[in-house]
Amino acid sequence: MNVVSIIRGGSFASALIIFTLLQTVIPSRKFEKGRWKYSLSNLLLVGFNNLFLGLLPIIPYQMAVTAENKSWGLLNIFEIPLVVSIILGILILDVTIYFQHRLFHQVHFLWRLHSMHHVDPMLDTSSGLRFHPLEIIISNFIKVTIILIIGISPLTVIIFEIALNVLSMFNHSNIKIHQNIENVLNKLLITPAIHTIHHSKIFTETNSNYGFSVPWWDMLFKTFTLQGKYPQEKINIGIPNMPETKYQRFPYMLIQPFLKGK
Ligand SMILES: [Zn+2]
């Protein structure tokens, strides 16, 4: 196992444990009875994705190494200080993920794949990892394209991927955050309260708050919703036509996007 895998694995495991503990001690919503079955399904899906797509999350990193060695991409043409190139690279990757998320909501076939993430009827830390393997493959393809065009460094890719993974777990967590802290935090990060609005069954709310890390892209491109129709504890989470319960759980969740009429 190389150093990159150890850092990625360590940050993933630490964040999963810390946010799971926090949401158990200070939950925002009362956990529904039988919720553990959904959380377990989400974690089984993570195991499945890692087993069958194990090498894929590393592909953007490997392509960044290739781009750096061959001096491909805009950032490799100019002499740019390391810090500036890292910040620029992270911002470019993050705005790409924002638009990719919008695309997954707007293109019918992509929405079918992404809807598997949205049919989770309640959110907890494990929901932040619940993505269809085909969505992960398409996302990696988009990321690699941007990495090669811009010439984003391997270090930048690793920092970004770890941050995205940890922040996705954070903003899906069922952690209660004091309103005073929330008021400051939601200007800097996508908080669980902000992301829960994205998981609302109300169409206009689902089609807002697309960011996974910072709320700035939503603010800039006018897709930010600070307060939905209902208060946090009353938000109805899911999609309007929820599939049969078994299709919301592993391994049936893998075929849910291909169900007739969904
Ligand atoms: Zn979404």
Cα of 218 vs centre of ligand 1, distance in Å, is 13
Residue scoring higher pLDDT (117 or 77): 117
pLDDT tens digits, one per residue of 185-229: 999 999 999 999 999 999 999 999 999 999 999 999 999 999 999
Cα of 211 vs centre of ligand 1, distance in Å, is 9
* Conformational region of residue 162, where left means phi above 0, alpha means psi within -120 to 50, and beta covers everything else: alpha
> Mean pLDDT of all residues in the chain?
93
Q: How confident is the model at residue 79 (pLDDT cuts 50, 70, 90)?
A: confident
Q: What's the one-letter identity of residue 126?
A: S
Cα of 126 vs centre of ligand 1, distance in Å, is 15
Residue 221 CA to residue 35 CA, distance in Å, equals 35
Cα of 76 vs centre of ligand 1, distance in Å, is 33
Please check the confidence at residue 57 and state whether its pLDDT lies above 80. no
Residue 55 half-sphere exposure toward CB, CA atoms < 13 A: 2
pLDDT tens digits, one per residue of 106-161: 999 999 999 999 999 999 999 999 999 999 999 999 999 999 999 999 999 999 99
pLDDT tens digits, one per residue of 23-36: 999 999 999 888 99
pTM of the complete model: 0.93
Residue 69 CA to residue 49 CA, distance in Å, equals 29
Q: How confident is the model at residue 105 (pLDDT cuts 50, 70, 90)?
A: very high
Q: How confident is the model at residue 56 (pLDDT cuts 50, 70, 90)?
A: low
State residue 18's pLDDT score. Answer: 98
Give the list of residues 6+ apart from residue 105 with CB closer than 8 angstroms, or none. 111, 114, 206, 207, 210
